[in-house]
Amino acid sequence: MLSMQLTLFHPLKSRSAMSTVLGMLIFIGVLFTCVMPFFLYINEVNSLYDQTIIEMKQFDRERDMEDLAVYAYPINQSSSQIRLYIKNRCPLTVEIVRIWINDQYFSCDMQIFGMGENTTDPIDIQSMLSQVQEVEDFQAKVTTARGNMFSSLTNPLQYSNTSGWSGGQSFAINIVIELSPGVYDFNIRVDNSNGTTIYTEEIWVVFENSIMRKVDVSGPDTYYVEITQTHGHLDKTSTTNVQITLEESTKWIYLQYPDDFV
C-alpha cells in the first residue's frame, strides 16, 4: 500500500519534471513548425533561383542557335507589295514577331519549324513608295521572339519611280516565280558562260503564291538560267540569259507560271 502511494504521488513530488517535459515538447514543436520549415523554405527558394539560372542559360543558348536566311523580294517589278522568303537554318522552331521595312514595322505571327522554310504574306508598302522621289533604298529585316534580328540578304532593295525594283549588293541572280496555288516541282539550273553548272535546285511548291531564290554568282559574266516545272503530264521550261556586270551586280528575274514557260 505504501509502495503504491509512493508510485502514484512520486511525480508530484518533483513538480519541475512535468514542466520540463512540456518545455521540451514546446521546444521540439518550435523546431518542427518554425525552424525546420524555415530552412526547407530557404532551400526551395534557392532551388528556384538555380532553376531560373539554368532556364535563362538555356534560353540564351537557344537564342544563339537561331539562324535564318531572309530574302525580301517585291512580288513583281513594279509591285508595292513585298514578301519575305525565310529559311530556318537551325533545328529550333523560330517565331517571327516583326518585319521591318526601313523605319516602319509590321507585326507578324509566323512560326518556321527547324530547318524549314516559309514565305510571309505580302506586305503593302504603298505609303512608303508614294514618298519616293526618284530612287530610294529599302532595308528589310525580321525580329524573332527570342530577340534576334536578321537582315534580308537581298538588301538593299532599290525602288525607282521610273524602272521599279532593282538592287542588291552582291553578285547574284534573284529569281521570283509567281504562280497560282497548287503543287509544282521546279528545277532551277544556272550555268556560266563556260557551260559549267554553278547552281541546281529542285523545289517542291505546295500551295504557295510565289517562290524566290537567290543564286550567288562569282562575278560579271553572262549566265544561262533554266527553270523547268516537271510536276504533271508536260514539262514546261523557261530559259533566260542574264548578264551580270560591275555596274549592275544583282539582277532580278520575274517569271509567271505558266505564262512565261513553254
Partner 1 sequence: MRIPSDVKALTPVVATIILCGVVLIVGISVWSFTYSITRGLEDDYYQGVKRQIDAISERFIVEHVSYDNQTSVLNVWVFNYGKVDIQVDVYVRGDAEGQNATGISISHGQIERIIVPLVANVGDELSITVISRRQNAVYATYVVPSS
**29 near partner 1 (CB under 8 A):** yes
Binding range to partner 1, per CB under 8 A, among 16-24, 81-89, 215-223, 232-240 = 16-24
Binding range to partner 1, per CB under 8 A, among 76-84, 97-105, 200-208, 241-249 = 97-105
**6 near partner 1 (CB under 8 A):** no
Residue 249: CA count within 13 A, CB half-sphere = 14
**233 near partner 1 (CB under 8 A):** no
d(CA 252, CA 255) in angstroms, rounded, equals 10
Between the alpha carbon of residue 196 and those of residues 58, 100, 189, 223, the distances in Å are 45, 38, 10, 10
Question: Which amino acid does the sequence have at 115?
Answer: M
Question: Which amino acid does the sequence have at 142?
Answer: V
**Binding residue (CB under 8 A) for partner 1 from 67, 76, 87, 98:** 98
**37 near partner 1 (CB under 8 A):** yes
d(CA 191, CA 241) in angstroms, rounded, equals 10
Tell me the torsion sign for CA atoms 161, 165, 167, 173: negative
CB of 52 to partner 1, least distance (A): 5
- Confirm if 173 and 190 have CB atoms less than 8 A apart: yes
Binding range to partner 1, per CB under 8 A, among 10-18, 171-179, 217-225, 247-255 = 10-18
**Binding residue (CB under 8 A) for partner 1 from 91, 114, 116, 147:** 147
**149 near partner 1 (CB under 8 A):** yes
**46 near partner 1 (CB under 8 A):** yes
Between the alpha carbon of residue 37 and those of residues 40, 46, 47, 163, the distances in Å are 5, 14, 15, 76
Binding range to partner 1, per CB under 8 A, among 37-45, 77-85, 153-161, 219-227 = 37-45
**Binding residue (CB under 8 A) for partner 1 from 6, 19, 161, 248:** 19
Report phi then psi at 240, rounded to 5.
-145, 145
**Binding residue (CB under 8 A) for partner 1 from 1, 4, 7, 103:** 103
Q: Is residue 33 packed enough to be buried (19+ CB in 10 Å), middle (13-18) or exposed (0-12)?
A: exposed
- Of 167, 179, 160, 138, residue with least CA distance to 78: 160
**53 near partner 1 (CB under 8 A):** yes
Per CB under 8 A, residues contacting partner 1 are 12-13, 15-16, 18-19, 22-23, 25-27, 29-30, 33-35, 37-38, 41-42, 45-46, 48-49, 52-53, 56, 59, 98, 100, 103, 105, 143, 145-147, 149
